[in-house]
Amino acid sequence: MREVVRLLVAASGHDLHEVRNRANITLERVFAPKEFDAPLATHFINVRLGTSHRFEFELPRAKAGARYFVRIYRASPRHEFTLGRYMSTVEVDLELDRETGKYVARQRFDELGSYDYLVYGTRPGGSRWLLRSRCSGRINVIPDVRGEIVLQIFPDIHGHTRLYWGDPSGHPGLVYNEHGEVIRLGNLADITSHLEDLKERYKMTAIYLLRVQKRGTNREDWAPEATSASPFSPVSLTEIEPALGGEMELERLVQRAHELEVRVIVDIVPHINRRSGALPDSRAVKCYDDNGNLVVRASTDGQFGSWNDGRLLNYRQFEVWEWVARCILKLIDRFDIDGIRFDSAHAVPIMMKKTTSPISTEKRETSRRWWRGPLSSTTGRTTISLRRAFTTRLAAMS
């Protein structure tokens, strides 16, 4: 199975649309907890943890001896791949609401994660899928985030508004002179010192820290006016930048935040510094330079240009996804952070994202049709969810 997925991941980023579409459809079948010939998800719903969702479907009136029900699939988050023996199902009868003319049902969700659902119709002699709009989809059960206030903090420039320049504790944050020149950068200890005041001022319930990972020392890649290493090309996703205080100061910040009932979210970028030894060049994207030489591609988010001090990781390789997942889990376990925010998710292949194909027909679709058919995908920022550690401890802020 691992070898099959590895090949499919490679194909999912192929330049040819036909190859990419077929690979992504097959990956959908591997990772989605549904029977093979079931329709793809056409409707997506967010449900707060511990609440009930009301299903509503516009369906033909059931004839005598027939009935409709919703089958809800749940894959175990403890396993890397979705196999039949790891799935559980719940079947909920649909009842006709005579006021609206729709078939309805309620189901309570008490566990974080994602659930797939399909609508069945049964009659004497058999049962069938209902291939109608909104009759197949996915439910994402998320924490109740109503009233949450997240304060974004870039440690290097924390305090740039002069709010803490007179701080007698020795933590003024970023300081610059009358000529606008930086004479002191902010750090994690500054944030820890000001955390209680920040909570009182902004009533935040979480802080979101940008670019705390260890940075490169390749000065030749810096902009001429730069005074410090770029925080956007880390040499490691799990080591903490020493200039910000290192691991000890992040631990203290997280501990103090939790004492104040403030959660901590850390930003993750999907590439690494070109001098980093965390991954070999074989895990990076390569391209031809102006002289026809095959070289490692500089980092890019696919929209706003390149960063020459970074390496663009090859997300066509399943090993890269595994490495990123291990790094995120290590951050969570090592520093007791409450979540991560994955940057530039729109720039990586569709692998491990679910299809949002709007296609819906009135006739039963064959596996060959779905294999050959088109696939549409969403872009945007997302949070990887691979294991229980992600669904139970990850604050899905995007």
386 pLDDT above the threshold of 60:
no
14 pLDDT above the threshold of 90:
no
Question: What is the bridge-based pairing of β-strands 95-97 and 113-123?
Answer: unpaired
pLDDT of residue 397: 33
367 pLDDT above the threshold of 60:
no
pLDDT of residue 194: 93
Give dist(CA 168, CA 214) in Å, integer: 29
- Of the two residues 308 and 20, the one the predictor is more confident about is 308
pLDDT of residue 32: 58
Residue 306's beta-bridge partner residues?
A: 300
Contact partners, residue 107, CB within 8 Å, separation at least 6: 52, 53, 55, 70, 72, 90, 92
CA 269 from centroid of its chain's CA atoms: 12
- Arithmetic mean of pLDDT, 123-136: 83
Query: What is the set of domains in the chain, with CATH numbers?
Result: 31-144+355-372 (2.60.40.10), 150-344+381-393 (3.20.20.80)
- With beta carbons less than 8 A apart as the criterion, state whether 138 and 47 touch: no
Residue 90's beta-bridge partner residues?
A: 72
- Of the two residues 285 and 91, the one the predictor is more confident about is 91
17-31, 138-152, 348-362: which has the highest mean pLDDT?
138-152
Task: Mean pLDDT check: name the lowest of 237-251, 285-299, 371-385.
Answer: 371-385
pLDDT of residue 305: 63
- Arithmetic mean of pLDDT, 257-277: 93
- Of the two residues 147 and 240, the one the predictor is more confident about is 240
Instruction: Assign 280 a pLDDT band (cuts: 50, 70, 90).
Output: very high
385 pLDDT above the threshold of 70:
no
- Of the two residues 184 and 304, the one the predictor is more confident about is 184
Q: Which of 276, 352, 298, 289 lies closest to 114, judged by CA? A: 352
pLDDT of residue 89: 87
Contact partners, residue 86, CB within 8 Å, separation at least 6: 75, 76, 78, 79
Task: Mean pLDDT check: name the lowest of 242-251, 338-347, 389-398.
Answer: 389-398
**pTM tops 0.75:** no
Give dist(CA 379, CA 340) in Å, integer: 18
Instruction: Assign 351 a pLDDT band (cuts: 50, 70, 90).
Output: very low
Number of residues assigned to the chain: 398
- Of the two residues 226 and 109, the one the predictor is more confident about is 109
392 pLDDT above the threshold of 60:
no
- pLDDT, one tens digit per residue, over 22-72 is 777 677 666 655 554 566 677 889 999 999 999 999 999 988 888 999 999
pLDDT of residue 302: 62
